[in-house]
Amino acid sequence: MNETLEDAATLARLRAQEPLPGLVAVWSGDHPVCVPFALESGAIELGRDELAHAGCADARVSRVHLRVERGEDRRWRCADRASRNGSWVDGVRLDPSSEHERPPKVIRVGHTLLVPREDLRPFIDGGVRDSHGVVAGPLTLAAFARIEALARAGANVLLQGPSGAGKEVAAAVFHRASLGAKGPLVSINCATIPRELAERILFGARKGAFTGASDSAGLVQQADGGTLFLDELAELAPPVQAKLLRAIETGTVLPLGATQAVTARFRLCAATLVDLREAVADGRFREDLYYRVGRPAVALPPLAQRTEEIGFHLDQAARAVHAKLQCTAAFVEACLLRPWPGNVRELRTEARSAAIEALSCSAPAVDVAHLPESAGCPLGEASPTLARAADEPVAASTQPATALSKASVLEALAKEQGNVLRAAERLGVSRAKLRRAIERWAIDPRASQSDD
């Protein structure tokens, strides 16, 4: 367990029924982490030593940097403690003399990112598991544990959850834990099967069943002795549903044109986006099949409820493109601020594209500039606010925009040794705005590198 939770009183509260609010560090420096920080007595002071003690060493964090409180009114309050490099809440820099009073999505200090959690108890026995390409935080691990228990008990299981949430991964978890683990795992997306061909594809055919037919085993028969994963189960036509029900009940299938059934004994893992009870009520799904596959059901949470996994997915995607390619904290922050309606599938697709873009322009790391403004946002919706917040954070919208002068730009560049990104942070403006000012006044940031 992380040392930040080794205090006896904290552990006692974590193991009790009372929720313990706190922060979870999800990124530090250039790599993903999962480190919980409890808000004992409703507040915590974070600085360089506290982070380093927890394994999140960050030289850009001041010794006394940020105070976070969660009051009895359940409101979160963040106050910067006049830190050298500032604190950021949801992409907006905190004024050192005021408090930020709203439920935040992500807090940034230096190159460390933290997400608030109403209850840290799920993190007591572990954080995020990153193994063989599978990323699983506490919520996902809890779902996997339930799936494994059902598989070992010999039950079939219905997976519920939004598109892209990881149902295929969950099906593989079910297969490995099931009694048919030594057999095949046959995965079928029912939505992709043409309705007029569904019966032949699923249950096979015998020579002469129709013009040009030859003996062929269906996908259900191929799952004999193993696991059959049916994604988008509700898309099957009612006649095919009836034949599937018989296969589940008897362990046999009757191919098209056959007079004798063939064995097809399998464990069934099904998945759906729709409410099967509503589908039954609407006449789109057979009631008798629902009673065989509708329970037990396991819900897979959307990515928005398990943001502690995002940094691990981004790191995997970048390193899959190039083993030494890393992500910046600003890039991860941008991803944490977006809703990702396509969940893990969308996140990894966009992260890979961003990594390829970074590699193509010889960038040292994957940064915000490589992420399209539309990435992670609902289709058809513009996201200027999200895009701006995801870039190097700007002043709060409730405050007047930061005015730049040539003297202030030169001073910030000098203090940051010509580093434009850090100079923008110091000035409280976006990096793009600072670059425009540099171009307007023909400033050479490299001229400041020798200044101290």
The structural domains of the chain, with segments of one domain joined by +, span: 3-123, 138-299, 306-383, 400-452
Per-residue model confidence (pLDDT) at position 393:
39
The per-residue b/e assignment along 38-77, b for 16 or more CB within 10 angstroms, e otherwise, is: bbeeeebebbbebbeebebebebbbebbbbbbbeeeeebb
Cα distances (angstroms) measured from residue 225 to each of 176, 178, 180, 218, 258: 13, 11, 6, 14, 21
CA 171 – CA 148 distance, rounded (Å): 10
Cα distances (angstroms) measured from residue 193 to each of 220, 253, 255: 13, 18, 17
Count, in order, helices (H) and strands (E) of the chain: 16, 21
CA 370 – CA 191 distance, rounded (Å): 33
CA angle 66, 29, 329 (to 5 degrees): 80
AA letter at 41: S
- The answer to whether the beta carbons of residues 124 and 1 sit under 8 Å apart is yes
**Domain boundaries 138-299, corresponding CATH code:** 3.40.50.300
Per-residue model confidence (pLDDT) at position 97:
66
Render pLDDT for 371-405 as a digit per residue (tens, 0 to 9). Answer: 988 888 887 654 444 434 433 433 333 333 345 77
Per-residue model confidence (pLDDT) at position 314:
97
Torsion of CA 228, 234, 240, 246, to 10 degrees: 60
- The answer to whether the beta carbons of residues 48 and 65 sit under 8 Å apart is yes
Give the DSSP H or E segment for 129. Answer: strand 129-131
CA 363 – CA 355 distance, rounded (Å): 9
CA 119 – CA 121 distance, rounded (Å): 6
Per-residue model confidence (pLDDT) at position 176:
92
Cα distances (angstroms) measured from residue 38 to each of 108, 174, 410: 17, 34, 41
Per-residue model confidence (pLDDT) at position 11:
55
Q: CB count, 10 Å around CB of 179?
A: 14
Query: What single DSSP character describes residue 28?
Result: E
Structure tokens at 128: 């995020």
Query: What single DSSP character describes residue 445?
Result: G
- Percent of the chain at pLDDT exceeding 70: 86
Instruction: Phi first, then psi: give them for residue 10, nearest 5 degrees.
Output: -65, -45
**CA 408, 409, 410, 416 torsion: positive or negative?**
positive
Q: Which residue has the tokens 């129709």?
A: 210
Per DSSP, the residues of 253-290 read E--BT-SS-EE---EEEEEESS-HHHHHHTTSS-HHHH
In CATH terms, the fold of domain 3-123 is Tumour Suppressor Smad4 (2.60.200)
Query: What single DSSP character describes residue 153?
Result: T
Per DSSP, the residues of 230-250 read EETGGGS-HHHHHHHHHHHHH
Per-residue model confidence (pLDDT) at position 211:
47
- The answer to whether the beta carbons of residues 392 and 431 sit under 8 Å apart is yes
The pTM of the whole model exceeds 0.85:
no
- The answer to whether the beta carbons of residues 160 and 300 sit under 8 Å apart is yes
In sequence order, the β-bridge partners of residue 134 are: 131
Options 1.10.8, 1.10.3470, 1.20.1270, 1.10.10; CATH of 306-383:
1.10.8
Per-residue model confidence (pLDDT) at position 46:
94
User: Which three-class secondary structure state does DSSP give residue 96?
Assistant: coil
Rg of the Cα atoms in the chain: 27
Per-residue model confidence (pLDDT) at position 37:
94
Between 450 and 203, whose confidence is greater? 203
Render pLDDT for 144-188 as a digit per residue (tens, 0 to 9). Answer: 999 999 999 989 999 998 888 899 999 999 999 988 778 999 999
CA 23 – CA 27 distance, rounded (Å): 12
**What is the pLDDT averaged over residues 208-219?**
61
Render pLDDT for 284-302 as a digit per residue (tens, 0 to 9). Answer: 899 999 999 988 899 999 9
Structure tokens at 319: 């390193």
Torsion of CA 51, 57, 62, 66, to 10 degrees: -30
| Burial of 178: CB neighbours in 10 Å, binned 0-12, 13-18, 19+ | buried
Question: Which range is least confidently modeled, 220-229, 292-301, 410-419?
Answer: 410-419
Per-residue model confidence (pLDDT) at position 437:
77
Per-residue model confidence (pLDDT) at position 412:
83
**What is the pLDDT averaged over residues 430-434?**
75
